[in-house]
Amino acid sequence: MTASAAATPRNTVLDLSRLLDPAAIAVIGASTNPKSISGQPLMHMLACRYEGKLYPVNPNRAEVQGVKAYADVREVPRPVDAAVVAVSAAHVPKALEQCGEAGIPFAVVLTAGFQETGDAAGADMQRELDAAIARSGVRVVGPNCVGLMNVRTRAYMAFGGALGDKTLRPGPLAIVSQSGGFGLSIMALANAHGVGSNYVVSCGNESDLTFFDFAHDLLERDEVKMIAAYMEASTEGVRLRELGRHALEVGKPILMLKVGNGGAGRRAANSHTGRLTADYTLFRTAFREGGFIEVEDLDELADVARLVIGGKYPKGRNVGVLTGSGGWGVIMAEQCERNGLQLPPPSAESQAKLRALNSTFASLNNPIDQMANYAEQNKTLECVLDDPAFDQFIVRSGSGPDVDVWASRMIEIAEKTDKPIAVNWASVPGRDADVMQKLEQAGFLCAIYARRAARAVGIFTEFALKRLKFAQAGAASPARPLPRRPLDIGSSKRALSEHTSKQCLSQYGIPSTKEVLLSLADIMALKACPVSFPVAVKLASPDIPHKTEADAVRLGVNTLEELKRAAQSVQQSGRRHIPDARIDGISIQQMASGIEVILGAVNDKNFGPYVMVGLGGVMTEVLRDVTHRFAPVTMDDARDMLGELKGTKILEGYRGAPPADADALAQAIVSLSWLISDHRDRIDEIDVNPLFVRARGQGVVAADALVVTRGTDK
C-alpha cells in the first residue's frame, strides 16, 4: 500500500465514530516534555480537560505529566477507541501491531520519516508501515500529520500552538486538510471570526485513511453543517466528483481552498482537446459540478461559513440593497454585479408602500437610499421583505447610539422571512462589537467591507442555486437522449482515420460533410465529381492521422481537372511523408461553411470522460476560450457551456450575420458526451475540428474528426 491506495470506496461501511469521538485514548510514546511533539497531545488534553480517559504509554515511566503510564499499549484497560502514535519512525510499525492486538480500532500517527522524505530510507519505512497497517487491521490517520481533533470533547490527538487557544469553541465547521499546519490556521481564523469547528483532521501521508474517507464521513454527521477543505495536488478526480455529489445530496457545502493550480502546465495529449485542458481546469469543472464553494483565502472562507450558519439559502441572484449612504450604495451595487448578483428595482407595489412611509429617500430604486435615516430603515426592510423582485437582501448597518435598537428590530424582522439578509457593517472594526456579535449569533453575516460582503453573498448564492437545482432534479442521472450505439473501431491503441472517426460521430447523430472515398485509379476515371463543387481532397490513411502536417489536404477544389490533380498530389505527399503508409483511398468531401467550432472529448485518466467546446481559430488558439463539462451532459449543460464562452456573441450573429444554430451545436455536444461516456473503455480522445455551425435551423456539420482509441487488446 502506498499513499491513497487504500482509499475506501464510499459504498463500503466505514464508521469513523470511535475515531472522531473517542471515549478513551492511548498516547503511545507520551513524553514527559510537554513542549515536544510527543508530549503535546497529553499536555493539551490535560490542559483543556478532555472528557474521556487518557492512557499514556511509556516503557520508562510509571507516570507521565501526572497521569499513570503503561509500559505497553496491550496492558492498557479496554476498551480504547484510538491511539496517538508519537514514537520514532522505526518503532511505528510495531506500535500499530500492538494496537491491533490491544483491540484499538484507530491510530493517529504523528511521526514523520516515511515516503514524504523522498529518499530510500523513507521509502523503506513506508513499506514497513504499509505492511504493518495491513497486518494490524488498525485504521490509520497519517503518518506525518499534525493529528486529529474533536473540539467539543477536547480530544486533541494532535500537536501545534493553536491547540493552546483557550478561546476555541466548538461549532458547525469540520476541517479536512492536506497541509497539517494550515488546517490549524483555518480553525484558528474561523474561530476568531466566531465560526467554531467540531472536527479538525490533518491527513498527512494518507497511507490508509484519506482525505475522501474523512470528508464523506463528516458530511453525514448532523453536527457538521459544512466542511472546509485544504487540498493540494491530487490524482483522485473521480473521487473528488463523488464527494461533490455527496455534498449536494446532503445539501452541505465544501468550502474548498485548492492550491497548486499554477505552473502545472498542459497535459500531454494526442488531441487538441487534451492539450487545451490544464489540470486545474478539471478541478474547477468538478468544483462547479459538485457541492463545492471554491474560496481564495480564509477571510472569504469565514464569511461564507457565516452565511451557511445563517441557514437561509437564496432562491435566485436578485438582491435588494438598503443603504443610508449613497456612496456606499454605489460601491455595493458595483461589487454585487462583479459577483454575479443582480439589483432589480422594487416592484411598483413596494415603491408605493415606500412612498407611504413618510420618510425621505435619495433613491427608491435599488440600492434603496434612505439618507442616513437608520431609525427608519427597518420599516423600509419590512416594505420590501416579501417583494418577489428580491431573493435576498444586503443591508448597510445602522451606527451610533441606537445601533442596538436597530439590530434587535432587524433580527425580529428577519425571523419573518426565509430570504437571507446579509449585513454590511457601517462601523469600524471593534466598534459596537457587542451588537455585531449579537447579529452574528442570530445568524447574520456582518462584513465590514462592501467587497467582502458582495463576494461572500455571490459565491454562496452560486452554491445555493446549485443545491436547489439538484434538489429539484432529484438524484436521477441525465436522461439518455439516444441509445447506446456500437462502434466498429477495433481494440488496439491508435488514431482512427478521418473516415472511421466520422463514422463514430455518425453513430451518435453528429453529421459530417458529404464524403466519398475512392481509390486514386477510380478518381482518375471519373467523368463527373460525385460531390458538388467546391470540394476538399484528403488522403485517407490510418498511418497519417495529422494530414495537414503531411501536406495531404487540398481545399477549395472547383473542377474535375483540379480534383484529379489534387488526388494525385495528396497521394504523393502521403507517400513522401510515410513511404509505406497504408492507404485506404482518397476522400472527396463537400466544403462546409458556417461558424467554426472545436468540439472535443477526452476520457481523462483521473477525472473520467469530459467534453470541451470552443470557437475556432484565434478564440481557441490564442485566447484559449474553451469550456468543459464531465460527460454525459444535458442540453441545459450544453447551452450553459456555450453561454460561458467569451465569444458567445459570435453565435448570436456577429457583424450582421444570421444567428447560428446554437441548438444543433448544443445537441452535438450532448451526443459527443454520450459517445465518450458510452465508450470510455475503448476511446481516449476525440477532436471534431472544425465543426461548422450553420444558420439557425440548418444544423452543424463536422469537416474533420479524429478519434484516438484506448487499446484494450493488451
393 with 457: CB under 8 angstroms?
Answer: no
703 with 669: CB under 8 angstroms?
Answer: no
- Distance of alpha carbon 642 from alpha carbon 627, whole angstroms: 8
- Smallest CA-to-CA distance from 224 within 200, 257, 190, 192 is with 200
Choices 20-28, 329-337, 530-538, 703-711 (CB under 8 A): range interacting with a copy of itself: 329-337
At what angle are helices 450-473 and 326-338 packed, to 10 degrees? Answer: 40
The residues with which 670 forms a beta bridge, in sequence order, are none
36 with 62: CB under 8 angstroms?
Answer: no
- Distance of alpha carbon 129 from alpha carbon 123, whole angstroms: 10
Choices 2-10, 18-26, 259-267, 633-641 (CB under 8 A): range interacting with a copy of itself: 259-267
Choices 246-254, 291-299, 603-611, 636-644 (CB under 8 A): range interacting with a copy of itself: 291-299
Least CB distance from residue 331 to a copy of itself, whole Å? 6
Nearer to a copy of itself among residue 303 and residue 678 (C-beta): 303
275 is a site residue for a copy of itself (CB under 8 A): no
* Residue indicated by cell numbers 457541492: 291
588 with 515: CB under 8 angstroms?
Answer: yes
119 is a site residue for a copy of itself (CB under 8 A): no
Report which DSSP code applies to 5: T
* Residue indicated by cell numbers 464527494: 243
Name residue 418's amino acid.
Answer: D
Q: State the cell numbers at 572.
A: 504523393
- Distance of alpha carbon 332 from alpha carbon 394, whole angstroms: 9
330 is a site residue for a copy of itself (CB under 8 A): yes
Phi, psi for 686 (deg, rounded to 5) = -135, 130
284 is a site residue for a copy of itself (CB under 8 A): no
Site for a copy of itself in 614-653 (CB under 8 A): 618-619, 621-623, 646-647, 649-650
Among 8, 325, 506, 569, binds a copy of itself (CB under 8 A): 325
Choices 5-13, 248-256, 448-456, 538-546 (CB under 8 A): range interacting with a copy of itself: 448-456
Site for a copy of itself in 406-435 (CB under 8 A): 426-431
Least CB distance from residue 689 to a copy of itself, whole Å? 13
- Please list, residue by residue across 253-274, b when 16 or more beta carbons sit within 10 angstroms of its beta carbon and e when fewer do: bbbbbbeeeeeeeebebbbbbb
The residue length of the chain stands at 714
Choices 57-65, 72-80, 183-191, 520-528 (CB under 8 A): range interacting with a copy of itself: 183-191
110 is a site residue for a copy of itself (CB under 8 A): no
182 is a site residue for a copy of itself (CB under 8 A): yes
Binding-site size for a copy of itself (CB under 8 A) equals 58
79 is a site residue for a copy of itself (CB under 8 A): no
Nearer to a copy of itself among residue 114 and residue 182 (C-beta): 182
Nearer to a copy of itself among residue 452 and residue 564 (C-beta): 452
Phi, psi for 342 (deg, rounded to 5) = -125, 150
311 Ramachandran zone, left/alpha/beta (phi>0; psi -120 to 50): left
- Distance of alpha carbon 220 from alpha carbon 199, whole angstroms: 13
Site string for a copy of itself, 154-173 (x = CB under 8 A): -------x------------
Name residue 635's amino acid.
Answer: M
Site for a copy of itself in 558-617 (CB under 8 A): none
How buried is residue 549: exposed, middle or buried, by Cβ count under 10 Å (0-12/13-18/19+)?
Answer: exposed
Choices 215-223, 311-319, 334-342, 468-476 (CB under 8 A): range interacting with a copy of itself: 334-342
Site string for a copy of itself, 205-244 (x = CB under 8 A): -------------------------x-x------------
Among 405, 448, 517, 695, binds a copy of itself (CB under 8 A): 448
Nearer to a copy of itself among residue 649 and residue 714 (C-beta): 649
Least CB distance from residue 429 to a copy of itself, whole Å? 5
Phi, psi for 35 (deg, rounded to 5) = -90, -20
Least CB distance from residue 622 to a copy of itself, whole Å? 5
Nearer to a copy of itself among residue 52 and residue 617 (C-beta): 617
Nearer to a copy of itself among residue 195 and residue 489 (C-beta): 195
- Please list, residue by residue across 401-437, b when 16 or more beta carbons sit within 10 angstroms of its beta carbon and e when fewer do: eebeebbebbbeebeebebbbbbbbbbeeeebeebbe
Tally of CA atoms within 13 A in the half-sphere of 435 that contains its CB: 23
Helices (H), 578-713: 618-621, 635-644, 649-653, 662-678
280 is a site residue for a copy of itself (CB under 8 A): no
147 is a site residue for a copy of itself (CB under 8 A): no
266 is a site residue for a copy of itself (CB under 8 A): no
470 is a site residue for a copy of itself (CB under 8 A): no
- Distance of alpha carbon 3 from alpha carbon 241, whole angstroms: 19
405 is a site residue for a copy of itself (CB under 8 A): no
Choices 211-219, 258-266, 659-667, 684-692 (CB under 8 A): range interacting with a copy of itself: 258-266
Report which DSSP code applies to 383: H
Q: Give contact residues for a copy of itself (rule: CB under 8 A).
A: 161, 177, 179, 181-182, 185, 188-189, 191-193, 230, 232, 257, 259-262, 296-300, 325-328, 330-331, 333-335, 337, 372, 399-400, 426-431, 448-452, 618-619, 621-623, 646-647, 649-650, 654-655
